[in-house]
Structure 1
Amino acid sequence: MCRHQPQCPPADARDREAALLVAFHPEQGWWLLCNGVVIFDDTGELLPDGRSVPARRALCERAT
């Protein structure tokens, strides 16, 4: 999938988030990386094979 030199880390690598940004929609809360990983603004991830990676941080609750 990646045509960059050096190539971006594959989706199953520990450093997969180091891949280059291909598309982003911050208004919708997601970013697509060159290796096919979708990262969400809560730090959760969707891998190209359909597996999900849970968020590493909880969203802050708003005090009312």
Structure 2
Amino acid sequence: MCTHTPRCPSADSPDREAAHVVASHPEQGWSLLCNGVLLFEDTGELLPNGQVIAPHRNLTVVA
């Protein structure tokens, strides 16, 4: 799907979240990346093959 130069990371790359956003719906909490990944505001992901990646945001501890 990516037409950028250099090409964005593929959906199965560890750095897939670095791909360009092609559609953003912050009111619904998701963005579509040019590699076909749906990225959710809670850091969960839905890959083009249907695989679900659980949210993985870093927890910040406030003392």
Q: Secondary structure at the match of 2:17?
A: helix
TM-score normalised according to structure 1 size = 0.86
Runs of 4+ in 1 over 3 A off after TM superposition: none
Partner residue in 2 for 1:23: 23
Partner residue in 2 for 1:48: 48
Partner residue in 2 for 1:62: none
What is the Cα deviation at residue 40 of structure 1?
A: 0.5
Partner residue in 2 for 1:9: 9
Query: Identity over aligned residues, as a percent?
Result: 65
Structure 1, unmatched stretches of 5+, are 58-64
Cα distance between partner residues in 2 of 1:49 and 1:16: 14
Residue by residue, what CA displacement relative to the aligned partner does 1:5-60 show, whole Å, maximum 9, x if unpaired? 00000000000000001000000000000000001011100000000000014xxx
TM-score normalised according to structure 2 size = 0.87
Structure 2, unmatched stretches of 5+, are 58-63
